[in-house]
A and B are shown apart, each in its own frame.
Chain A
Amino acid sequence: MSLLELLLASGLFLGSTAASLTVWGQASVVLAEDRDRLVSLDALDAEIQAGEARLRDPALGLGSATATCTQQLWRLAAALQSQPAQAGVVRQVLVPQGQGTLALKLRAGSQERVRLYNPEAFGGCGSGLAAAAGESGAGVGNDSTIGAGGAVDGAF
């Protein structure tokens, strides 16, 4: 064993250790990010499931022959907002004016999910969309947004 061999061996070992540590560090960062994203994904899943479960509540009156589309939309928006959101999930209930639909927008971390709710898809409304639009006729130009705190930013 010569000094040259010792130097070569040390250099090789140190170099591979440094490279290996770098790769391990990057991998651990990726795994930590993935763990956070997985938590967000699960929270969004739970929030979507909870929203879908609320649709089955008979008190909501979806598909009712007596409630107009507008009434059903409001009930639906209120029902989707009635429970606290999952931890880390920001929930927005958007009601674009004149479309007769409601969009549930959920955000957790970098992920976002949007699901559309159309009261007419649950058996129809008590009156036509035109009548519902006539009832709503508040003439507000902006879409309605109900944030996670339940504040109504507009009206439809």
Chain B
Amino acid sequence: MPFLSQRLRPPRPQPSGEPGFVLPLAISASLLLLLGSLSVQSAALQSRLSLVTREELRQQEDRMISVGRELVGGLNRSHPCLVGLPLASWPKEGSSCATPQALEAVQRGVWEGLAWRLVDWQPQPDAAELVLELDPASSTRAPRRAALAVLLRGEPLRAQSLRLLGLRGVAP
């Protein structure tokens, strides 16, 4: 009965050269450790990216609000007749308070080394929407546009205050 004798034979001791469980265990543990640290590293990078984005956003908001204040301050001071006119009507109807050169000058400028331009000005009876475009601080970035709401009051109409409605990038 060769078959039975084979089955009843005690298990053969493992030869010393055959791999055991330690190396696979070490490989698995190492992989787990590396995966865990990669995951922590990506979480840290994600956190940094989110923070940098938030910082840049705040600085862009500051720039846009500052430029908006500079622009509406200039309108209130030197060209009050433009406050109640949409941008498209400035060249014709705004000539009573602004020369063509002044109209050109009021629509663009530089603040903190960054060039800006007026994209749109749409007054309503008590508020206006102002759209500004600001060159990026870095040449690799796209220009940013901001929409601002400007409160209008008085007779003649004057800009009273402004607040940021939103920011967005502009396709180059």
Interface: A82 (CB within 8 A): no
On chain B, the residues within 8 Å of A28 by CB distance are: 44
Interface: A5 (CB within 8 A): yes
CA distance A20 to B41 in the complex (A): 10
CA distance A123 to B154 in the complex (A): 8
Number of interface residues of A (CB under 8 A): 48
On chain B, the residues within 8 Å of A117 by CB distance are: 69
Interface: A50 (CB within 8 A): no
Q: Are B30 and A16 in contact (CB under 8 A)?
A: yes
* B41 partner, pick from A10, A27, A114, A129, beta carbons under 8 A: A27
Within 8 A of B (CB), among A91-145: 100-101, 111, 113-125, 128-129
Chain B residue at minimal CB-CB distance from A129: B77
Q: Are B54 and A41 in contact (CB under 8 A)?
A: yes
Stretch at the interface among B59-67, B98-106, B121-129, B139-147: B59-67
> Given A16-B30, A30-B48, A123-B153, are A41 and B158 also a contact pair (CB < 8 Å)?
no
On chain B, the residues within 8 Å of A121 by CB distance are: 68-70, 72-73, 76, 159, 161-162
* A16 partner, pick from B19, B33, B54, beta carbons under 8 A: B33
* B17 partner, pick from A2, A20, A63, A120, beta carbons under 8 A: A2
Q: Are A63 and B69 in contact (CB under 8 A)?
A: no
A-B contact pairs, 18 of them (CB 8 A): A1-B21, A2-B17, A8-B23, A9-B23, A10-B26, A12-B23, A12-B26, A12-B27, A16-B29, A26-B44, A31-B44, A41-B54, A113-B62, A115-B66, A121-B68, A122-B161, A123-B159, A128-B77
Chain A residues with a Cβ under 8 A of chain B: 1-2, 5-6, 8-10, 12-13, 15-17, 19-20, 23-24, 26-28, 30-31, 34, 37-38, 41, 44-45, 48, 55, 63, 100-101, 111, 113-125, 128-129
Cβ-closest 8 pairs across A and B: A16-B30, A1-B20, A116-B66, A9-B26, A118-B73, A120-B73, A23-B37, A121-B73
